[in-house]
A and B are shown apart, each in its own frame.
Chain A
Amino acid sequence: MTLLRIEGVWKNYRHQSVLRGIDLDVAPHEVVCLIGASGSGKSTLLRCVNLLETIDDGAIHLDGDEITDVRADVDEVRKRIGMVFQSYNLFPHMTVLDNITLAPRKVHKVDRARAEEQAGELLARFGLADKAGEYPDRLSGGQQQRVAVIRAIATQPRLLLLDEVTSALDPILVTEVLSIIRELKDTGMTMILATHEMNFARDISDTVCFLDGGVLLERGSPEQIFSSPEHPRTREFLQRVLDAGRL
């Protein structure tokens, strides 16, 4: 059974192919980590899945529907997919509560009282109950990113995309964001994460994919990829990460 099927996806920017025939299946409740050097195409792949970019060949299916069909309703597709960005991208003119309830209220037509109640429950669950009325600029980076995660899951998406959600954070704040992601895995959320946190990737993923120059070079269980990578490029990459002290 597959929730998301990526088939031979190509993405070109001007003279450069950034994704070169990516194939990837994601099962319900599966957590997939995308690893690879900066510029290897991790963000682009996530943005293609969320239709923030249009692909140049191939197809992407969600729950059996082709979402890359040119006639597909992009807003309808995005209702079913949540995304969290490296730079949080909270709405600075809205309180934490309004950031979280905006999509439930305006897109999913939940009434305000119900939306706020659900947001309150999520905030409490992730230790942010006292921040509901704050504006984003009054929060630490870690808190902002946790709010961004809550905002993305408040609409109960089928799939959550996380793009290097801890890269902009001080090391000390990384843990609080990673723990919320771990908790989401326990609730059965299907996730694709682009990450540089190799320990975390090893710990949380069901499948690790190594991207190199827009090609999905190697995939497998975390043990397989981190302990006995087959491809020399994967070994090279992991060695560099190891040298940099990040594994």
Chain B
Amino acid sequence: MTDEVTDEVTRPARSARQLERERIRRRQAVRSSSIATASTIVFLTLVAVLVTNSPGWPRVRETFFDPEWFVRSLPDVLQGFWTNVKIFLIAEPIILVVGLLVALARGLRAPVFFPLRVLAVVYTDVFRGVPTLLVIMLVGFGLPALQLTGVPSDEITLGVIALVLAYSAYVAEVFRAGIDTVHPSQIAAARSLGLSHGQAMRHVVLPQAVRRVIPPLLNDFVSLQKDTALVSTIGVIEALRQAQIYAASKFNYTPYLVAAMLFILLTIPMARFTDYLSARAARRRGPGGA
């Protein structure tokens, strides 16, 4: 650390050769950014010209890009979207906990836990195989039909249950992959210090595993944010459903565009954050790899 600072201070004036080099580099940087700008403009213009000159464009503009309908439907779709956000915010923490527990259950080797382990394996196999939409419909229509006492009947709760069932299976696999990347020598070191299996997991394996799986987990979050729209099939009035109501009665599809835009606005920050974390992790590992 201190070496770098003194280097900076005592560094002699740059030679003419280095100054020339830096001047050329600056010029190249300016040139590449102007090329990027120009090519983006050309590309966007081309797309715009192509779309607006297509034979169906006037009709599409009317039904999908109607400013009046945009403004009129926005409050209702936005209100519906709040339901999507709520479902996401409730489901996500539960998914993280359930996913982690399932991943840990799969790692239990003691004979007492045998049923738990089998249950975890069967659960992940089943729910990774069934399409999310199907899980939602089975839970949404099937669970209330059982007429068991204590089983919730409101659609939002049922939707959350279905999403938790579907997504925890994926998240469990992500956690398990993360746990597998921690080298066995770390466990050997922890156990040799007298830590139990549980303590070694908690203090040594999981902290390292979780750090490594944050980018793929965030990726699943993004996916979940979108899939909250699937609960519209069991009657939850969320953004997609609101847009559908408008579209069906007024024969205008602009509300769909409104809903799409809201989803994009929600997922973009998450996607950028994921990129940032991945890039940071790659930098940490350095050019030589882990």
Chain A residues at the B interface, C-beta cutoff of 8 Å: 50, 52, 74-76, 78-79, 81-83, 85, 87, 89-93, 102-103, 106-108, 151-152, 155
Contact = CB atoms under 8 A, between A and B. Distances in A.
Q: Tell me the dominant secondary structure on chain B's binding face.
A: helix
B284 to A, nearest CB: 9
Interface stretch (B111-119, B191-199, B214-222, B272-280): B191-199
B185 A78 contact: no
Given A78-B194, A79-B194, A93 B188 contact: no
Interface of B: 185-186, 188-196, 199, 203-204, 207-208, 211
A196 B115 CA distance: 47
9 contacts: A75-B194, A75-B195, A78-B191, A78-B194, A89-B186, A89-B188, A91-B203, A93-B211, A152-B193
Given A91-B204, A93-B211, A103 B185 contact: no
Given A102-B203, A106-B203, A91 B189 contact: yes
Contacts of A82: 192-193
A103 B211 contact: no
A247 B195 CA distance: 39
Contact of A52 (B186, B188, B199, B203): B188
Contacts of B186: 89, 91
A122 to B, nearest CB: 15
Contact of A107 (B195, B204, B207): B195
Given A85-B185, A89-B189, A107-B195, 6 more contacts: A75-B191, A83-B192, A91-B203, A91-B204, A106-B203, A107-B199
B191 A155 contact: no
A81 B188 CA distance: 13
A198 B208 CA distance: 37
B227 to A, nearest CB: 32
A52 B185 contact: no
B229 to A, nearest CB: 38
